[in-house]
């Protein structure tokens, strides 16, 4: 059985790693790894393969950057001949990036079945490119692996047959559990001269937050005012930095004494920062999940989330996209004791094994 696994961007790598690992252990299964090159910067791609121990991709499409439309189209053009040459029995896509949808569309046109890992998540915000990607991928996929029960409910409400839906748990937790002991040995706190629970960890990169001048000014106010309440560490996405520089806001942030702007970090160092943070401020989906498991207060700088289980059962709080409201939420989090980490159903570090079993049984 030949199974082609597709990864393209940083959030994919942590999800594809345990699935590839489980499939590689099975007799009669040939897992092949394809990297679209959507994230091509070494700091956003190569370092993750090295740290996570992911084998060199069997194929790298080398797509690079571009607009959402151009990038999706380029992946489709480069993926189609590779798909025909490799002739996999099934293609596994993960998450909700452009690579996920692009490869799924090619498979649908070519009659190759697709399995979607992290299916069923819905923000119901169609201005998010990720929402478009995940909804269309789910409509075309044959096997839908959901990380939480709300994913099953969303898919059933959209008319997906129940036999295609498989609740397997959160595969990202598999990687977190595997690397938590490694992260505890990281020296990143000493390197940055920061103390445990004495800083907040920030990640902000979504277009709605950083692309417009109004959005960039809003997050600048959040960072400047927030760092006066608690020192902030911000491993900054190249795209976010570029937008802040374009809007002339970067010098203000560089001058802030309690705001540490650092280059993107590898998985292990970033996980260590998350383990010891007092709180996290983010617009990332994965960090909402990881902070839930780790017991770190998470303030999500968005109006909605596709991961409601992190609110109902975890440590996540939606704070909207107004800096003043988010600053009030920082005050509330600092006034409260640290929460305990909780694990929603099947967030047990065994999701990849369940996925592999279902793929082979199929």
Which residues are designated catalytic? 205
Print burial letters for 70-91: b (CB count within 10 Å at least 16), e (below 16).
ebbbbbbebbbebbeebebebb
Q: Partners of 167 in the beta sheet?
A: 146
CA distance 311 to 104: 30
Q: Which helix (H) or strand (E) element contains residue 292? A: helix 285-294
Task: Yes or no: say if 320 and 265 are a contact pair by the CB < 8 Å rule.
Answer: no
Q: Are 51 and 22 in contact (CB under 8 A)?
A: no
Q: Are 173 and 289 in contact (CB under 8 A)?
A: yes
Of 110, 109, 115, residue with least CA distance to 6? 115
Please give the C-alpha separations between residue 309 and each of 59, 293, 343, in angstroms, as whole numbers.
35, 12, 10
Cβ neighbour number for residue 120 with a 10 Å cutoff? 27
Angstrom distance (rounded) from CA 145 to CA 164: 9
């Amino acid at each position: 059985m030949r199974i082609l696994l597709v990864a393209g961007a940083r959030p994919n790598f942590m999800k594809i790693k345990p699935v590839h690992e489980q499939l590689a252990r099975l007799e009669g299964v040939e897992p092949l790894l394809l990297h679209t090159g959507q994230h091509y910067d070494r700091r956003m791609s190569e370092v993750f393969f090295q740290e996570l121990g992911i084998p060199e991709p069997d194929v790298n499409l080398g797509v690079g950057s571009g607009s959402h439309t151009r990038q999706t189209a380029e992946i489709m053009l480069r993926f189609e001949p590779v798909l025909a040459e490799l002739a996999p029995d099934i293609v596994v896509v993960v998450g909700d990036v452009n690579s996920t949808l692009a490869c799924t569309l090619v498979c649908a046109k070519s009659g190759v079945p697709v399995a979607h890992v992290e299916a069923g998540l819905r923000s119901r915000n169609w201005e998010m490119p990720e929402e478009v990607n995940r909804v269309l991928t789910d409509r075309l996929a044959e096997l839908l692996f959901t990380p939480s029960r709300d994913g099953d409910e969303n898919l059933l409400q959209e008319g997906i047959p129940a036999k295609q839906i498989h609740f397997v748990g959160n595969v990202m937790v598999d990687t977190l559990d595997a690397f938590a002991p490694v992260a505890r040995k990281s020296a990143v706190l000493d390197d940055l001269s920061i103390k445990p629970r004495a800083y907040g960890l920030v990640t902000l990169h979504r277009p709605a937050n950083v692309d417009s001048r109004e959005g960039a000014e809003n997050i600048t106010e959040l960072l400047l005012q927030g760092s006066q309440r608690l020192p902030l560490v911000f491993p900054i996405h190249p795209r976010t930095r570029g937008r802040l520089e374009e809007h002339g806001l970067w010098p203000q942030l560089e001058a802030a004494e309690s705001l540490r702007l650092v280059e993107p970090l590898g998985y292990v160092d970033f996980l260590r920062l998350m383990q010891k943070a007092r709180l996290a401020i983010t617009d990332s989906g994965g960090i909402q999940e990881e902070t839930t498991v780790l017991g770190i207060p998470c303030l999500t700088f968005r109006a909605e989330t596709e991961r409601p289980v992190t609110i109902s059962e975890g440590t996540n709080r939606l704070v909207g996209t107004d800096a003043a409201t988010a600053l009030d939420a920082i005050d509330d989090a600092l006034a409260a004791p640290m929460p305990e980490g909780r694990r929603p159903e099947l967030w047990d570090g065994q999701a990849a094994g369940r996925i592999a079993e279902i793929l082979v049984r199929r």
